[in-house]
Amino acid sequence: MSSSELQQLYQQIILDHAKYRHGASAEPFGVFDADGAPGLRLAESHQVNTTCGDEITVRVGVRAGSSAAADAAVTDAAGPAPVIEQFVWRGDGCSISMASASVLADTMTGLTVAEAEALVTTFRELLRSRGTIEPDEEVLGDAAAFAGVSKYPARVKCAMLPWVAFEAALMQVAAASAAPAAPASPLA
C-alpha cells in the first residue's frame, strides 16, 4: 500500500470514529454508582483544550483481579492485575479529539492498567515525534491513524486530550486504591 493510500485510510478511520463515537454517552453522566458492581473502582476526569475549546470527560471503572485478568493469568506482586472493565466518555470538540476518544474507548476496555499505561506512553511518543516515528499498528490498532496528526503541533493537543483525561482518571483510581481504609467507627 502506498503512503498516499495509507494516509487516506487513516483519514477515513478518523472520520468514521468522529461520526460513530464508540463508547460515547448520549446522556450526561449520573452520580457514581458502584453498588451494583462490588470491587469496581470508578474515576472520572474532565479536561479542556484551552487553545480550541475541545472538552472531554472520561469515566473509567477498574476492577482488581477481574476474571479477564485471571483468565489471562496476568498478575503483579499484589495478585491479579487491575483491569479496565468500563470506559465511557462524553465530549464536544473537533473531529480529531472526538475520534481519538472513540479509538481510546475501543482500545482500553479489557486491558490491564499496566498495559493501558504503556499504550498511552506509546501514543504520546508517536504524537510528539512530529512524524519521525512510524506507527506500529499491531500495538496501537486504530490509534495508529493519528500518526499524521503528529506533523501538526496545534492538533496534537486535540488528539491527546482524551488520553490525558483517561490517564488522569487512572491516577485517581490508583490514589484511591493506595489510600488507607477509613478506620471503623468506635460506635459501630
- In this predicted model, what pLDDT tens digit does every residue of 104-135 receive, in sequence order? 999 999 999 999 999 999 999 999 998 888 88
Domain map (residue ranges) of the chain: 3-27+38-177
**Alpha-carbon torsion 24, 27, 28, 29, what sign?**
negative
> Measuring CA to CA, how many Å separate 111 from each of 24, 66, 67, 69?
19, 11, 12, 8
Q: Determine the longest span between alpha carbons in the chain, in angstroms.
A: 72
pLDDT of residue 27: 76
The Cα angle at residue 53 between residues 41 and 152, in degrees rounded to 5: 100
Residue 79 has pLDDT above 80, yes or no: no
**What is the average pLDDT across 164-169?**
95
pLDDT tens-digit profile of 127-137? 999 888 888 88
- Average pLDDT of the chain is 81
Q: How many CB atoms lie within 10 A of CB 120?
A: 20
pLDDT of residue 117: 95
Give helix 113-128 / helix 153-178 axis angle, nearest 10°.
Answer: 160
Q: How far apart are CA 114 and CA 77, in angstroms?
A: 13
**What is the average pLDDT across 74-92?**
79
Q: How far apart are CA 63 and CA 158, in angstroms?
A: 29
The answer to whether the beta carbons of residues 134 and 117 sit under 8 Å apart is no
Q: How many CB atoms lie within 10 A of CB 9?
A: 12
Hey, which CATH number is domain 3-27+38-177, 3.30.70.100, 3.90.550.10, 3.90.1010.10, 3.30.70.20? Answer: 3.90.1010.10
pLDDT of residue 5: 57
**What is the average pLDDT across 55-84?**
70
pLDDT of residue 164: 95
Work out the percent of the chain whose per-residue pLDDT is above 90: 42
Q: How far apart are CA 138 and CA 140, in angstroms?
A: 6
**Alpha-carbon torsion 172, 185, 63, 101, what sign?**
negative
Q: How far apart are CA 171 and CA 31, in angstroms?
A: 19
Cell numbers standing for residue 138 = 499491531
Q: How far apart are CA 32 and CA 133, in angstroms?
A: 39
Residue 166 has pLDDT above 70, yes or no: yes
pLDDT of residue 125: 94
pLDDT tens-digit profile of 27-49? 776 665 555 567 788 999 999 99
